């Protein structure tokens, strides 16, 4: 097991930083370009949700943990102490958004399709934790 932890403010400029940090950590699994793209996309979706939805009218803190499990799986945990999600099943449905015209409501759908496992825990008024896992076959898997 190996892991990294980062803590950063809910500023949109940090979306690219979070993607790049996780990609650099995951590089030791020798992922394919496609696997790396999938991981970066999932990070981008989860972190953007904290920035847009969890802290709608203030700057809050986002915690991100990336771990390589002994079975070679990559695990990502993204956590906020924001407003929380009242109905998780509803929130995870394709096209559901509380964000209006600027959002597509496809964030969870994309996380679900790019990761092997996505778990959402949330308490209204206390925050949300998204845990995702993805098996990395790596470029060795292509040989």
Partner 1 sequence: MKIYSAYSDGRLRLNLEGELDHHEAKSSLRTIDRIIDDLLPRDCIIDLSNLSFMDSSGIAVIMRVHKRMNDMCGKAWVENPNGQPLRVLDASGIDRVIRVYSKTE
Ligand X SMILES: Nc1ncnc2c1ncn2[C@@H]1O[C@H](COP(=O)(O)OP(=O)(O)O)[C@@H](O)[C@H]1O
Binding site for partner 1 (CB under 8 A): 12-13, 15-16, 19, 33-34, 37-38, 40-41, 44-45, 48, 51-52, 94, 101-107, 109-110, 113-114
Tokens 């109905």 map to which residue?
A: 87
Catalytic annotation on 14?
no
The three-point CA angle 102-12-32 to 5° equals 95
5: tokens are 């932890």
Partner whose binding site includes residue 44, from partner 1, ligand X, Mg ion, none (CB under 5 to 8 Å by kind): partner 1
Is residue 104 a contact residue for ligand X (CB under 6 A)? Answer: yes
Type and span of the H or E element at 131: strand 127-135
Q: Which does 35 bind (CB under 5 to 8 A by kind): Mg ion, partner 1, ligand X, none?
A: none
Coil, strand or helix at 48: helix
7 is catalytic: no
Torsion angles phi and psi, residue 135, rounded to 5:
-75, 130
Region binding ligand X by CB under 6 A among candidate stretches 21-29, 34-42, 59-67, 84-92: 84-92
């Amino acid at each position: 097991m190996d892991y990294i932890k980062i803590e950063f403010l809910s500023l949109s400029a940090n979306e690219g930083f979070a993607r790049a940090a996780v990609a650099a950590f995951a590089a030791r699994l020798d992922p394919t370009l496609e696997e790396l793209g999938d991981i970066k996309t999932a990070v981008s979706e989860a972190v953007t949700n904290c920035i847009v939805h969890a802290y709608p009218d203030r700057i809050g803190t986002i915690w991100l943990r990336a771990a390589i499990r002994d079975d070679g799986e990559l695990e990502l945990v993204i956590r906020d102490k924001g407003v929380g999600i009242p109905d998780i099943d509803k929130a995870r449905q394709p096209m559901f958004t509380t964000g209006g015209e600027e959002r597509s409501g496809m964030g969870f759908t994309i996380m679900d399709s790019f990761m092997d496992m996505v778990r959402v825990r949330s308490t209204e008024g206390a925050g949300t934790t998204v845990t995702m896992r993805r098996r990395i076959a790596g470029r060795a898997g292509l040989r």
